[in-house]
Amino acid sequence: MDSREIVEVIDLNILGQVCPACLLVVLKALNDHQERLRSGKTRLVVRTDHRDSTRTVPESARKMGYEAQVKKVDTYYEISIGRKH
Amino acid sequence: MSQPDENPPSLLAVRLAELEAANQAYVRYIREKTNQLLEVMGTRALESEELDEEALIEMDPIGIVAQSFQQILAHLNQTIEELQEAKAGERELREFYLTEKMKLATLIESLSEGLLVLDEQNRVVSCNRAADEITQWLATDSLGKTLEALFPEMEAVLRKNACDLQSFELTFRSRQGADRLLSANVTRLRDSEGRAAGRVVTFRDSTEEKRRTELFHRTEKLAAIGQLSAGVAHELNTPLGSVLGYARLLLKDKTLSPAQRAWAEIIAEQVKKSSGIIQGLLRFARQSNPARRCLEQCRINEIIKLTLPLLATEMAKRKIELETDLQPLPPIIGDPRELEQVVLNLTMNALQAIGTKGRVRITTRHAGSRVVMKVEDNGPGIAEQIRSRIFDPFYTTKPLGEGTGLGLSICSGIVSDLGGTLDVTSVEGQGATFILSLPAATEASAELGKSDSRQAARRMGAGRE
């Protein structure tokens, strides 16, 4: 993925929340920013420390037609969701 | 008067209790439906402590999941559209490749050159119609067979050369046992990733082409030697004429001593011999022939019947049997005397090749628009290395003084002038066959023959004057 294409990052901090509540939060954000995310100009970056979310969130995002990447950062996970290339 | 109930519930409290119960039912409903939807999304159910009732209602999880489902649906629709487009594209691509395949197949089938596609083990995987025609295989015969089984000689060449080959020649024996000369090209076949995937062999029958080239060279040689001979003969004729004239003048002189007279006679005789040789040369060069050539409709069978008795004594002396198989033939246009010379020469050659005890067979056939005569002997045959030279002027295998080496070249010249061909096939040790092929007379050529004949007669008349 070319980072120069990204003009905006929506940061979603759900540290401390557990699944499936955090999934609902992410889904809400995906619904709210649907158009911007689909345009490819925006990416949603979710920070979570709940391990289950690293499975359920990317799975659901992919079903909705997005591309999702999971990265381990220090004590939490960073899930980056955006338009499929 | 009735007393009101003690601590009667106020309407508000009742209403609140009802609302509370409805709220609880609503929350339960939301929680239940949310859990069902979350299960569909592939995750576990909400724990009661995860989202309290207030947070649950505020969050509207059913709305969130429903909206997500809408996105999933939109994504699925988009995917279906993409798949349909891809399928349509694939169909177009498949049609394109099928058309291209058909074009290629038609192209391969329409090639006049034989084409074989070999796999890595040199087995034939594809073979076109021309390949079957040239080799006289049947299509089913060649497929799956190794090149070694079909073309042993080509296999040997390919084993020695790993790279592509251009225009290499090889001999091939057809089903009928005839040796054919093939000119072949071999190109390595590679797959889309450049790996060796077999070979493509193309070949054509160059037997006829080679024969024509040889005939052309022969004719060229004959023409060159003919021109040279004519020039030399012309230059020698004048001084020889003078020498002969003076020798005759001398012989008329009465004062000559007997010895001088004998010398003068020797001079005159030797000049006559030289003149004879020059006449022979001129005949070979055919400088004197066209005027004397008398073209007319001839029947080759009759010419053979007229010529053979001339050789009867020679045949009897040599104990050679003669067989003839003469089929009914159309007439040809030619000079009967020249054709007699051709028949005589070819038969004489056969006799001389056999020596004593043997058999000569003369056959005639009508083949398409041509008349074919074969003179076959069971003599020693002609060695491969000299086969191309036997039509060369002055080339002879006979001992010195027994042959001039002009017979076959004169025959070849006569036949070629009449639009025919003279060929030889031979297997060493098993005799030789001379094949004479002349065009059969058509009405047009018969007319031409008559007119040529009249012109020749006029020329001869003019010559006499």
How many domains, in total, are found in chain A? 1
Per-residue pLDDT of chain B (465 residues; tens, 9 = 90+): 445 555 667 888 899 999 999 988 988 888 888 888 888 877 888 877 777 778 888 888 889 888 999 999 999 999 999 999 999 999 999 999 999 999 988 998 898 898 888 888 888 888 888 888 888 776 567 788 888 888 788 877 777 777 778 888 888 877 777 778 888 898 888 888 888 888 898 999 888 888 888 878 777 777 777 777 777 877 888 888 889 999 999 999 889 899 999 999 999 998 888 887 777 677 666 544 555 667 888 899 999 998 888 888 888 888 999 999 999 999 999 888 888 888 988 998 888 888 888 999 999 999 888 999 999 999 888 887 777 777 776 677 766 555 566 678 778 888 888 888 888 888 878 889 999 999 998 755 555 555 554 444 444 433 332
CB atoms within 10 A of CB B187: 13
DSSP-based three-state secondary structure for B202: strand
In percent, the amount of chain B with pLDDT more than 70 equals: 87
Mean pLDDT, chain B, as a whole number? 82
Are B36 and A3 contacting, i.e. CB atoms less than 8 angstroms apart?
Answer: no
Q: Which residues pair with A10 in a beta bridge?
A: A44
Closest Cβ–Cβ partner in A24, A30, A56 for B59: A24
Q: How far apart are the first and last CA of chain B?
A: 181
pLDDT of residue B457: 44
A37: domain CATH number is 3.30.110.40
CATH architecture of B112-205: 2-Layer Sandwich (3.30)
For residue A23, the distance in angstroms to the closest alpha carbon of chain B comes to 9
Whole-number Å distance between alpha carbons of A84 and B75: 11
Q: What is the DSSP string of B63-122?
A: HHHHHHHHHHHHHHHHHHHHHHHHHHHHHHHHHHHHHHHHHHHHHHHH-SSEEEEE-TTS
Mutation target vs B (from A18, A23, A24; most B CBs, 10 A cutoff): A24
Whole-number Å distance between alpha carbons of A62 and B447: 94
A-chain residue closest to B44, CA distance: A20
Q: How many helices (H) and strands (E) does chain B have?
A: 16, 12
Per-residue buried b or exposed e for B200-230, using 16+ beta carbons within 10 Å of the residue's own CB: ebbbbbbbeeeeeeebeebeebbeebbeebb
pLDDT of residue B284: 63
Structure confidence by residue, pLDDT tens digits, B378-401: 988 888 777 777 777 667 776 655
Q: Which amino acid is at B333?
A: I
Closest Cβ–Cβ partner in B42, B67, B78 for A31: B67
Cβ distance of A21 and B51 shorter than 8 Å: yes
Domain holding A33, by residue range, is 3-83
Structure confidence by residue, pLDDT tens digits, B85-122: 999 999 999 999 999 999 988 998 898 898 888 888 88
Whole-number Å distance between alpha carbons of B303 and B333: 13
Question: Predicted ipTM?
Answer: 0.88
Fold type of domain B292-464: Heat Shock Protein 90 (3.30.565)
The CATH number of the domain covering residues in B211-286:
1.10.287
Domain borders along chain B are 13-59, 112-205, 211-286, 292-464
The distance of Cα A15 from the centroid of its chain, to the nearest Å, equals 13
The distance of Cα B98 from the centroid of its chain, to the nearest Å, equals 29
